[in-house]
Amino acid sequence: MEHIPLQYFLILSTLMFFIGVAGFIIRRNLITILMSVELMLNSVNINFVAINRYLYPDQMQGHFFSLFIVAIAAAEASVAIALIINIYRRFDTIEVTEVKEMKY
Amino acid sequence: MVEKREIILGENEPYVINMGPQHPSTHGVLRFELSLKGETVFKVVPHCGYIHRGIEKMCESNTYQQIIHLTDRMDYLSAHPNNEAVSLCVEKALGIEVPERVKVIRTILSELGRLASHQLWWCAFGMDLGALTTFFYGLRDREKILDIFEESFGSRLLHSYICPGGLMNDVHPNFKQRIKDFIPYFRKKLPEYDQLLSGNVIFKERSRGIGMLSLEDAISYGVTGPSGRGSGFSCDIRKSQPYSAYDRVDFKEILFTEGDTYARYRVRIAEMWESMKILEQLVDQIPDGDYTAKMKPIIKLPEGEYYQSVETARGELGVYIVSKGDKFPVRVKFRTPNFSNLFAINHMAVGHKIADLVAISGSLDLVIPDIDR
Amino acid sequence: MDYEDFNDNESLELFKKTGSDGFFMTTIDSLINWGRSNSVWPLTFATSCCGIEMMAAGASRHDFARFGIEVYRASPRQADVIVIAGTIVHKMAPVLKRLYDQMADPKYVIAMGACAISGGPFYTNTYSVVRGADHVIPVDVYIPGCPPRPEALLYGVMQLQRKIKAESKQNRMETRDNFI
Amino acid sequence: MKFLYDFSILTNSIHQMLAASLSPLWVFIIELVLVGLVFLGFYAILGLFLVYLERRVCAFIQNRLGPNRVGPQGIFQTIADLVKLLFKELFVVRKADKILFNLAPFIVIIASLMAIGAIPYAKGLHAIDLNIGVFYILAVTSLGVVGILLAGWSSNSKYSLLGAMRSGAQIISYELSVGLSLLAVIIFSGSMQLSTIVESQANGWWIFKGHIPAFFAFVIFLIAATAETNRGPFDLAEAESELTAGFHTEYTGIRFAFFFLAEYMNMFLAAALATTVFLGGWMPFHFFDFSGFNYVMDFIPPFVWFFGKTFVVIYIIMLFKWTFPRLRIDQLLTLEWKYLLPLNLLNIIVIAFIVLMGWHF
Amino acid sequence: MNPVIKYFSEIVKGVGTLITGMKVTSGYFIRPKEIITQKYPENRDTLIMLERFKGEVVMPHDENNQHACTGCGICEINCPNGSIQILTAKITNAEGKSVRVIDKHIYHLSMCTMCGLCVKTCPSDAIVFAPTFEHAVFDRNKLTLQLNKPGSSIKKGVKE
Amino acid sequence: MSLYEIMFAIFAAVILVFSILTITTRRILRAAVYLLFVLLSTAGVYFWLQYEFLAGVQVALYAGGIVVIIIFSILLTHHIDHKFDRAAWWNIISGSALAIVGSVTAISTILSYDFKPIAKVAIDSSVKSIGNQLVSTGHNGYVLPFEVISILLLAALIGAIVVAKKEDTNSEPISK
Amino acid sequence: MSSESLVLFFIIGVVLVGGAVLFSNYFAPKSSNPAKLEPYECGIPVKDGSWIQFNVGYYLFSIIYLVFDVEIVFIYPWGTVMKDVGLTAFIEIVIFFVILGLGLAYAWKKKALTWV
Amino acid sequence: METFDHNALQETLSAMMPGAVFNTNPQFVEAVVPANDLHKFALELKMNSKTQFDYLVCQTGLDKNEELSVVFHLRSTKLNHSCVLKVITSDRINPEFDSVFDIWKSAEFFEREIFDLLGIKFKNHPDLRRLFLEDDFVGYPLRKDFVDNINIVQ
Ligand code: SF4
Ligand code: SF4
Ligand code: SF4
């Protein structure tokens, strides 16, 4: 483990984060957008964990943080998917460009 | 947004799926065109004719003896009553009285056929519901009956044994003994059917309240046989217009009034008990005598129209013969039980799941060539 | 059962491979054929009365499974053999053809019963019966009878196994290509 | 006496032998390859044997003989099947998503393989012994459903899609019950490591030690695991009488064989897990203080114990399939969500209470 | 009933019925005596068919290669689907009279439905059913049989 | 290079390649599958860092949970024929420009900083210690978040049900 | 031998499936006809594509599943220490379960657990 | 045995159906009704409390060379008596009768079958298609003048 410097992890997670950002902007489909968000969340998790392991191996804050992030991501995904499917039922599409009027 | 509808179906549009003709649970080559909402069926269109063999047309160029072997092939699971129907109709037209022995033997055969048919139904029904072992137990017991058949008539399934005027040949000397052996055997095995399937909580959940058919609808659709009697339609021809030896045996007409799949199931199970009762009564009283009445080698029916119905394992089988005094009939029409039973399925299956449709069609005990002829 | 106990050995000889590959190929070929012949999964396809005897053949008394034929597949993709058990009428013929087409190679066909061979009881005077399933798809083994008893079906299956064992890859393809 | 059959001695000696002559990296690689080959063989042979076993078992249940013509007692039957399937045509339906269609069997097989690697077969005889053992198996098996969903979607067929959706809904639902019922033993033993759980049963299996709640958890586990492996009476995904062949309708030849294999291996996995967690894994059966009896029991090698118990559980699972009618999809989900899940939650609290009061042995 | 009690009693009852079912199946599992499978190809030598079994129509010949068929054609008429074709030939018999005898009694096994009408109506009982069933072939034409053996002749005493 | 490093390289490569594929593929289910691979190799990274429990959670929750329901929703809303339109060019340009600029900035910042491991003895990261911290109320105890998670889950559950069930009222029951 | 053996098993899986598929692809016979490549639908030509209509049930259950999955993940570490920690842990889990039980009860009441 | 008075039933029927002709038939009361009144009479037969023919046993199409007819076998499940109803037309090109599917539900499919095999049309029938044969089948096989040289082997 010692041979891999921490920076590698950080670079990895940065790249992943910005790929997520790019996906968020490029794709117009709600589910793909959700997936991009998951990518970003994931990259953040890698950061937390790596820094925890490298810099503060005597504690577990980073670890717990990611743990809770995963849980929150799950909760978020479940609500988001419920919304997406509801939008789909209403508009028959989940392209953001076509879902103009979000009224009930 | 609008043009996407072509490929993306919303929740409220019907969605059509085919079940059959090659499908394990349509018992042959029936095809259901299902319109679904989600997994709920809201329309069933049965398409038949995948085994329409033109039997009625063939009858018009066959003599009455030859017709017999065609009737076997309609409802092949209970072949005897089919043969019996034509024979009775011809005998009625000719005004022939068959010997007592023939009557009793015909009745026994009908009941044995009913037992065999119900056993096969039981295993097929179990298979439909996914209980795979029923298949083997049902057929295991059925083999015993087939042995009786084979010993006397030389064939296991399609016998062409009952013919106008009586029987093709005399029964085998072992006939009586075999039946006597069979009844106690089956009395032991039948409770197992209950333990395995009827009592099972999964089975009950899957069949209770499924496929309701009210009495009025049953009559209006002409659903007869055990399926009709599950709705309380008292349609047993054996009781209402007794033929052969049915007027002298004591049996109950099984009636359940719930009208669901479970009721139809129970009617058949109860009928098996009744059939065994009938067999027990008759097996010792087979009178001696001829196995056939005196018949001319070529039968010519007097001009007229004749109708005869019998109770097969599936319901009322009617034979309608129009004759012009020839050796060939002008028109033979078979009012087959399954034909009417099948078309009630749309009424019964609406609002249920696909799996329930399978259960319902299983509980109707469909034999497809009987529908298509 | 011995070779002599079977009938129609003459036809079987026709399938036998002519010429010879190396020893290795022959061994491989026979291994493959051994596998194929001992594991013929039938399609659940029964149109009428013969289907009941097919079911009986699968049941406890006769037990198809002893031959390794027990896995009835409902999807033609996974089946190896269609047992045409019953009458084929004109309305059904395209369906049968389609099912056959949709099966994966190698595939075999058994025509069970008089109807599937020639129309049987419905040979004359009817307007809707196909006189023999071999007008629709190529048939490997014919089992006469109406219905053939389960043992006869078992016998037919053994004949099919012999045929599979006898033929080589080229033969198989040729017979199919020669079918119109 | 306890450690009469300690396989770590064997593995250690192999390790030592290799280490004596090779560099550590090579030792490592060779060991990996060895383990890999052993498991490859084990997996394939076990799969073939299970298929054969099921056929014989159901044949006996149904008063018949089952395959008995290929080889003595038909044991080569499944090999013949395998050969046949290997030489059967592979094709992909038009308009199907080729990549995903090909990927699906990989996912299903890998999920089951990775889980099976974590089972301890005897003392010192396991490939992966993580300290999150139980949880790892749960996590990995939950991937299998992805394969099924992909298979159904990518084959562009209605039946496949319906079957995939059904089995997807079913597997994810029952995963909860599997997880919760395994939790019962984790509370008792205080560890998730499978080897520790087995060790903790040296003086009695959890199904006996854990009073009624443990037995209850065992029953729920059996039901839920049967459902999760898509076996009858929960085989809705491939309900022949409704959906012809379910999600693998369009699969042919060897690809189909892998789904078939995965089903059996998952069944084995379920049984092995039940054995490990509830029935003491490779621990012999001990009867209180009858030391003579216990002494005899100790002589039976641990893997015999393990496979013996596993096959008993497998037999029970097979019995389920061959006895019961299939459930309907809504009943299936009702069973999980309205019966198993609440009861399971209740059960956990009861167990926690028992542990709290120290009532367990 | 209290819904909670009902909930639990339902479970108990349901499980009870399931166990009853499993008792039946595992009962058979542990009683292999009840296996009824007859091993067809292995038991071929001991397999005795019931004598009335209708496997195919045959024409019995005696040791002199003689049969009882007069070639009257009644079976052909009675067969519902034309499975029998009678080809007759004219020969001069011993007394110098020219008589019609059977030349070929063609029987299409591929079409026969085993209805038994031909056997029943044959006036001289020349044909009977044989309890054989091993007929499967690779070629459909092999199923067209000639019942009278080549070179056979009619038995004495069978009236024309 | 030791085996450890190779493994890290593999994981990193898989993560990067498949995350790019995730956002560039035009078939949505493939995107979901690629995402699955990304998440799995992330779990691999956690494993590599010896946070086994976290890796397990990653597999069970992310790969086995979130991805599965994403796939589910795709199955419900997309047909196999469905392909995305090509994204508009300004979207592509702005998206990738933002990504490139952002990552270059961030990476240069990261590289310019020298992270010093605070050399302390690593504590045991087994499930036991995780569990202990999770239920402990004292210092380094996470019992509050643990309970709050349950409330969050409750909220999510209710929210999802409310949203999902909303339209059910106007879909009339199927008439006989 | 932990994370390596995971990769090892991954590789075994790939080798097993990939090898067999490649082998079979190479040796198995091939033939093609138009009907073969069409999806199977009981022998009837397929009409409109393989689109099935979605059912609210499927996604409702999957969503509820996700919520409970998270819960299980969190009580696993709790389970391992229940024995050692004792009363505190017991009280905490009771609270946790009560809150979740409320969720389940809500879903039950709202008929979200009923298949439609 | 059917326990009803043959003659009494015939009287009741003739009172209910003016214009019907009664044939002698030893088995059933057999009435030939004018085609135009078919639906009206059928409804009356079902509804009238004296007859209550609620069960259509069988509906047959008949071709007797010169005329086409449809035969109804009716039975009453309550009063346990039966009768036969007939309608006849000599129009072989375009025979048409009223549909009775709204009176007896089973008639819907009997009528489809008759249409399929004999080419008799039914007015107001909801879904008059071929039932057994392919949709592109030419001719009506149960008619006496049906010829099919390819398939019918004598
Ligand atoms: S051959 Fe005979 S038994 Fe077989 S399907 Fe035809 S009629 Fe039926
Ligand atoms: S077999 Fe009998 S019926 Fe037929 S031609 Fe010969 S004698 Fe006549
Ligand atoms: S048994 Fe019947 S079908 Fe066969 S040849 Fe004789 S008459 Fe013809």
CA distance F12 to B243: 85
- Is the pLDDT confidence value at D218 over 80? yes
E60 shares a domain with E33: no
D321 in any annotated domain: yes
- Is the pLDDT confidence value at D148 over 70? yes
Q: What is the pLDDT of residue A103?
A: 46
Q: What is the pLDDT of residue B9?
A: 45
Single-letter residue type at D110: I
- What is the token pair recorded at B183? 């009844």
CA distance C49 to C60: 19
Q: What is the pLDDT of residues D164-207, one digit of tens each?
A: 887 888 888 888 888 888 888 888 887 788 877 877 777 777 77
The mean per-residue pLDDT over the stretch D96-124 comes to 82
- Is the pLDDT confidence value at B115 over 80? yes
Give how many domains chain H has, as a whole number: 1
Full residue range of the structural domain in which residue B337 is found: 52-344+357-372
Atom of ligand 3 nearest to the CA of E82: 8
CA distance B299 to B291: 18
Q: Helix/strand/coil (H, E, C) string of B141-153?
A: HHHHHHHHHHHHH
Contact G66 F165 (CB under 8 A): no
Q: What is the pLDDT of residue E81?
A: 82
Point out which residues pair with H88 in neighbouring strands.
H69
Residue numbers in F near D130 (CB within 8 A): 52
CA distance B172 to C105: 49
E50 in any annotated domain: no
E129 shares a domain with E80: yes
Q: What is the pLDDT of residue B284?
A: 83
CA distance F36 to H23: 81
Which of G25, G35, C16 shows the shortest CA–CA distance to D85? G25
Q: Which CATH number goes with the domain that contains F25? A: 1.20.120.1200
Q: Other CB atoms closer than 10 Å to residue D41's CB: what's the count? A: 10
Q: What is the DSSP string of E107-158?
A: EETTT-----HHHHH-TT---EEE------BS-GGGGEEE-SPTT-EEPTT-
D344 in any annotated domain: yes
Taking one residue from D and the other from F, the number of pairs with CB-CB distance under 8 angstroms is 85
Which of E57, E108, E119 shows the shortest CA–CA distance to C118? E108
C-alpha of residue E116 to centroid of ligand 3, in Å: 6
D78 in any annotated domain: no
Q: Give the angle subtended at the CA of F128 by the CAs of A64 and D222, to the nearest 5°.
A: 105
Point out which residues pair with E67 in neighbouring strands.
E154
Q: Is the CB of E77 under 6 A from ligand 3?
A: no
- What is the token pair recorded at G57? 């049930």
Q: Answer for the pair G9, D114: CB distance below 8 angstroms, yes or no.
A: yes
Q: What is the pLDDT of residue H2?
A: 47
Residue in chain B nearest C76 by alpha carbon: B22
Longest dimension (CA), chain G: 70
Residues of chain E with pLDDT under 70: 1, 93-94, 96, 156-160
Give how many domains chain D has, as a whole number: 1
Bond into D233 cis (ω within 30) = yes
Residue numbers in B near H84 (CB within 8 A): 307
Q: What is the pLDDT of residue B10?
A: 47
H helices present in B35-99, as ranges: 55-59, 64-72, 79-94
Query: What is the value of ipTM here, to two decimals?
Result: 0.85
The mean per-residue pLDDT over the stretch B284-300 comes to 79
Residue numbers in D near F127 (CB within 8 A): 131-132, 135, 191-192
Any C CB within 8 A of B135 CB: yes
G47 in any annotated domain: no
- pLDDT band for position F169 (50/70/90)? very low
Q: What is the pLDDT of residue D323?
A: 82
Site from G4, G72, G93 to mutate, D interface, most D CB atoms within 10 angstroms: G72
Q: Which H or E run contains A33? A: helix A30-55
Contact B12 F171 (CB under 8 A): yes
The mean per-residue pLDDT over the stretch D139-156 comes to 84
Q: Is the CB of C87 under 6 A from ligand 1?
A: yes
Q: What is the pLDDT of residue B6?
A: 39
Residue numbers in H near B331 (CB within 8 A): 60, 62-64, 142
- What is the token pair recorded at F61? 């929750």
Residue numbers in D near G103 (CB within 8 A): none
E112 in any annotated domain: yes
Q: Answer for the pair E54, E114: CB distance below 8 angstroms, yes or no.
A: yes
pTM summary value: 0.87
H143 in any annotated domain: no
Q: What is the pLDDT of residue B137?
A: 84
Q: What is the pLDDT of residues G45-74, one digit of tens each?
A: 666 555 555 666 677 788 888 888 888 888
Q: Which H or E run contains D343? A: helix D341-357
B246 in any annotated domain: yes
Q: What is the pLDDT of residues F27-75, one digit of tens each?
A: 888 888 888 888 888 888 888 887 888 888 888 888 888 888 888 888 7
The mean per-residue pLDDT over the stretch F145-165 comes to 80
Q: What percent of chain B has pLDDT over 70?
A: 95
CA distance C60 to B136: 6
CB-based burial label for H138 (10 Å; 0-12, 13-18, 19+): exposed
E69 shares a domain with E99: yes
- Is the pLDDT confidence value at D2 over 60? no
Q: Give the angle subtended at the CA of B30 by the CAs of D91 and B236, to the nearest 5°.
A: 155
E69 shares a domain with E17: no
How do E128-130 and H82-89 pair as beta strands?
unpaired
Single-letter residue type at D358: G
Contact B38 G48 (CB under 8 A): no
The mean per-residue pLDDT over the stretch D73-99 comes to 81
Q: List the residue whose alpha carbon is closest to atom 4 of ligand 3.
A: E112
Q: What is the pLDDT of residue B243?
A: 81
E68 shares a domain with E136: yes
CA distance H63 to D80: 59
Would you mind telling me the total number of residues written for chain A in this entry? 104
E159 in any annotated domain: no
Q: What is the pLDDT of residues A26-73, one digit of tens each?
A: 877 888 888 888 888 888 888 888 888 877 777 777 888 888 888 888
Those residues whose C-beta lies under 8 Å from the C-beta of residue F124, and which sit 6 or more positions away, are none
Contact C155 E114 (CB under 8 A): no
Q: Answer for the pair E101, E94: CB distance below 8 angstroms, yes or no.
A: no
Q: What is the pLDDT of residue C179?
A: 59
Q: Which CATH number goes with the domain that contains H21? A: 3.30.460.80
The fold of A28-98 is Helix Hairpins (1.10.287)
The set of chains that have 3 or more CB pairs under 8 A with G is: A, B, C, D, F
Full residue range of the structural domain in which residue F75 is found: 3-84+125-164
Q: Other CB atoms closer than 10 Å to residue E44's CB: what's the count? A: 13
Contact D331 B197 (CB under 8 A): no
pLDDT tens for chain C, 180 residues long, are 666 667 766 666 666 655 555 666 677 777 888 888 888 888 877 788 888 888 888 888 888 878 777 777 777 888 888 888 888 888 888 888 888 888 887 888 888 888 888 887 888 777 888 888 888 888 888 888 888 888 888 888 888 888 887 776 666 666 555 554
How do B162-163 and B166-167 pair as beta strands?
antiparallel
CA distance C39 to D218: 37
C-alpha of residue B271 to centroid of ligand 1, in Å: 28
- What is the token pair recorded at H43? 């409804």
B221 in any annotated domain: yes
Q: List the residue whose alpha carbon is closest to atom 7 of ligand 2.
A: E69
Any idea which ligand is nearest the CA of E124?
Answer: 2
E133 shares a domain with E66: yes
Point out which residues pair with C142 in neighbouring strands.
C111, E137
The mean per-residue pLDDT over the stretch D55-75 comes to 80
Q: What is the pLDDT of residue H1?
A: 41
CA distance H66 to H68: 7
Q: What is the pLDDT of residue B5?
A: 36
- What is the token pair recorded at C17? 């491979």
CA distances B304 to B97, B300, B322, B369, Å, are 19, 11, 6, 28
Q: Answer for the pair D209, D360: CB distance below 8 angstroms, yes or no.
A: yes
C-alpha of residue C113 to centroid of ligand 1, in Å: 6
Q: What percent of chain B has pLDDT over 90?
A: 0
Give how many domains chain F has, as a whole number: 1
Q: What is the pLDDT of residue F171?
A: 45
Give how many domains chain B has, as a whole number: 1
Point out which residues pair with D253 in neighbouring strands.
none
Q: What percent of chain D has pLDDT over 90?
A: 0
Give how many domains chain E has, as a whole number: 2
Those residues whose C-beta lies under 8 Å from the C-beta of residue H37, and which sit 6 or more positions away, are H17, H19
Residue in chain A nearest B11 by alpha carbon: A89
Q: What is the pLDDT of residue F170?
A: 44
Q: Answer for the pair B82, B88: CB distance below 8 angstroms, yes or no.
A: no
E14 in any annotated domain: yes
Single-letter residue type at A82: A
B241 in any annotated domain: yes
Q: Other CB atoms closer than 10 Å to residue F137's CB: what's the count? A: 10
Q: List the residue whose alpha carbon is closest to atom 2 of ligand 2.
A: E122
Radius of gyration of chain D (CA): 21
E125 in any annotated domain: yes
Q: Encode burial over D211-223: b for 16+ CB neighbours within 10 A, e otherwise.
A: bebbebbbbbbbb
3-state helix, strand, coil in chain B (%, to 5): 50, 15, 35
C-alpha of residue B108 to centroid of ligand 3, in Å: 26
Single-letter residue type at D195: S
E51 in any annotated domain: no
- pLDDT band for position B8 (50/70/90)? very low
CA distance C6 to C162: 10
Full residue range of the structural domain in which residue D224 is found: 91-357
Those residues whose C-beta lies under 8 Å from the C-beta of residue H47, and which sit 6 or more positions away, are none
CA distance E145 to E84: 10
